Structure 1
Amino acid sequence: SHRGVDRTQPILPFEAPAEARRVSPVETMARYLRHIREGWNTEMAQDDPDALFQHQEIYLTVPASFDAVARELTVQAAQQAGLLHFTLLEEPQAA
């Protein structure tokens, strides 16, 4: 991570034209997780509310190099995406 970058600010896509719509890295991750949640719910939980993604225990892997701020931003993104039950797990432990 780049410590001098505010990851909550709309800075992506990096090096895009000035008129391009930008989003923050946190919002980008939240959108990605929301997309996965919606896809799961459409395909796997159509007939079973207990199978909804937000009711599952989700493990989000993060690089071991993530500092406390990066981990907290990952938590924020997961919460924005509507995840209720999740655990952060460092990649070496996930393997």
Structure 2
Amino acid sequence: MALAFDEFGRPFIILREQESKTRLRGLEAQKSNISAGKAVARILRSSLGPKGMDKMLQSPDGDITISYYPYLSFLNVCLLTCLPFYF
């Protein structure tokens, strides 16, 4: 993994292992999507209902966020884990 900058000075990450990855198709893609959906359900399940619990999230740089709202928790997890690889 390497850090580079575009013409406007915005940083982005270059993943070196990207060449070795292949695109999933067919049944393997479906299995991967089902697995991702189950992971999302596991994250959100304990936040819903009368016995819903708060979520404590820690970012890679050490910031801690506590949230009761399931959508906000899920959005934070996506922002902390997914988006740094795209920007």
Give me the TM-score of the superposition, normalised by structure 2: 0.28
Greater relative contact order (Cα < 8 A, sep 6+): 1
| CA radius of gyration, larger in | 2
Q: Normalized per residue, which structure has more strand?
A: 2
Give me the TM-score of the superposition, normalised by structure 1: 0.27
